[in-house]
Amino acid sequence: MGKNKLQRYAENKELENVIEHGAFGEDDFSHKGRWAQEVFGNKNPIIVELACGKGEYTTSLAERFPNKNFIGIDIKGDRIWKGAKRAIEQNLDNVRFLRCFIDHLDQYFSKGEIHEFWITFPDPFLKKSDAKKRLTSPKFLSIYRKIAEESATVHLKTDSEQLFRFTEWVIENQQLPVIRRFDDLYGEGPADELLSIKTYYEKKHLAAGRKIHFISFSLTS
């Protein structure tokens, strides 16, 4: 393992805006149901960025919406270190990073605690045998429902046409209302300011000439 990675793992333990669990840090299911009050010291809604990597959406949205709380979630500690450092440099006290598997989110949060989900360039897991690992699979949507507020929405940005079509199929199957959909986000007229925030992976996909797909939908029909 690279020296940089080990250094970042060690630093994460000292950063006040990084929360780790189990093998990665202290046991921290303790905030379940009390994140806003205990962690952020307010009653503001909580928005999560799943598979956040370096957390570009987490920090950019937090800057624009100081009256909301943002949590970037990923299992890779060296990536969330980057977002956590940026949030500290920018004095963003409405940002936290949680290092955990998204598969276990219902152990960390209570029903109704999360108001919005951003899923930014998740691994598409294209092999049929890996379909359950896709972050918009029925399995994952049911995990999100366990912690979501009733009107919660999910926003997906992806370069993967297959993952995009799969997500549309899940949405249709579960009869979930689609809020907005762009097959070619930057090719379909003036892009929205929030949708134009670019993540590390998105920049790489754009440089390679790939189309970016976007869809947002409600978690309940």
The piece of 23-31, 36-44, 51-59, 163-171 that touches ligand SAM (CB under 6 A) is: 51-59
| By CB under 6 A, residue 103 contacts ligand SAM | yes
Choose between 24 and 65: whose C-beta lies nearer to ligand SAM: 24
Measured in whole angstroms, the distance separating CA 121 from the mean position of its chain's CA atoms is 9
Quick note: the x/- pattern for ligand SAM over 61-80, rule CB under 6 A, is -------------xxx--x-
Q: How far apart are CA 11 and CA 9, in angstroms?
A: 5
161-173 helix and 138-145 helix, angle to the nearest 10 degrees? 60
What are phi and psi for residue 20, nearest 5 degrees?
A: -120, 165
The answer to whether 123 is a known catalytic residue is yes
Of 93, 103, 106, 123, which one is the catalytic site residue? 123
Element (H, E) at 60: helix 56-64
Choose between 51 and 148: whose C-beta lies nearer to ligand SAM: 51
Choose between 121 and 214: whose C-beta lies nearer to ligand SAM: 121
Could you say which residues in the range 113-132 bind ligand SAM, by CB under 6 A? Answer: 120-123
The three-point CA angle 68-14-6 to 5° equals 115
- Which residues are 50's β-sheet partners? 73, 119
Least spacing, CB of residue 42 vs ligand SAM, in Å = 26
The tokens 């995990």 sit on which residue?
143
Beta strands 114-120; 148-158: pairing state: parallel
| By CB under 6 A, residue 24 contacts ligand SAM | no
Least spacing, CB of residue 102 vs ligand SAM, in Å = 4
| By CB under 6 A, residue 20 contacts ligand SAM | no
The three-point CA angle 164-168-173 to 5° equals 150
Which residues would be at the binding site for ligand SAM (CB under 6 A)? 51-53, 74-76, 79, 101-103, 120-123, 199-202
Which residues are catalytically annotated? 123
